[in-house]
Amino acid sequence: MPILIPTFNFSGKCEEALKLYQKAFDAKLLCMLRYSDADKRDYHWELTEEQKKYVYHSELLIGNQRIMLSDNIDVPFMTSYATFLTVIFDTKEEVQKAYDVLKENSTTIYPLDSTTYSSCRVVFIDKFGFRWGLMTEQTER
């Protein structure tokens, strides 16, 4: 059976993002390899000293969902807001806590508020250019 794993690419900021997402979501870092750790046959170009320090592959566990993150050096880095991750929390306090960690230098699309389907929802673009939706999945808590 196929497994769908969201993958985030950064432009030299992956390690910073890993630390921020760990804090915001109480996420567990499963692994992190730098380009200097990878077999040179994995890529077909020379790396600068700075690029050797970049994250080649990493995995975070947010709740029971694994995501992959890396620094993108093979094509020009571009952001897209067409797809985003929604993280469901049990309570609005948990939504608020995660948003408080992530909101610095972010752009809010839908402010923290209750909706017909959620007691607490916020949608924003974080400082790395990724769009997030944080919410409860009910209207009571």
CATH number at residue 101: 3.10.180.10
The answer to whether residue 78 is domain-embedded is no
Same domain for 66 and 31: yes
Distance CA 96, CA 101 (A): 9
Which of 71, 103, 121 is at the close of a domain? 71
The answer to whether residue 76 is domain-embedded is no
Report the pLDDT value the prediction gives residue 134, as an integer from 0 to 100: 98
The answer to whether residue 2 is domain-embedded is no
The answer to whether residue 1 is domain-embedded is no
Distance CA 42, CA 115 (A): 47
Task: Tell whether the model's pLDDT for residue 109 goes beyond 80.
Answer: yes
The count of structural domains within the chain is 2
Determine what percent of the chain is predicted with pLDDT higher than 70.
99
The answer to whether residue 63 is domain-embedded is yes
Could you read off the pLDDT of 52-81 as tens digits, one per residue? 999 999 999 999 999 999 998 887 777 777
Report the pLDDT value the prediction gives residue 12, as an integer from 0 to 100: 94
Beta bridge partner(s), residue 26: none
Q: Which residue has the higher pLDDT, 82 or 36?
A: 36
Same domain for 100 and 56: no
Give me the domain span that covers residue 122. 85-136
Same domain for 62 and 99: no
Same domain for 67 and 27: yes
The b-or-e profile of 91-122 (16+ CB within 10 A means b, else e) is ebebbebbbeebbeebeeeeebeeeeebbbbb
The answer to whether residue 95 is domain-embedded is yes
**Entry pTM:** 0.91
Same domain for 131 and 109: yes
Could you read off the pLDDT of 24-58 as tens digits, one per residue? 999 999 999 999 999 888 887 889 999 999 999 99
Q: How confident is the model at residue 141 (pLDDT cuts 50, 70, 90)?
A: low
Same domain for 38 and 15: yes
8 A C-beta contact, residue 14 and residue 54: yes
Distance CA 134, CA 136 (A): 7
Token pair recorded at residue 36: 């200097």
Q: Average pLDDT over the chain, rounded to whole? A: 93
Same domain for 90 and 42: no
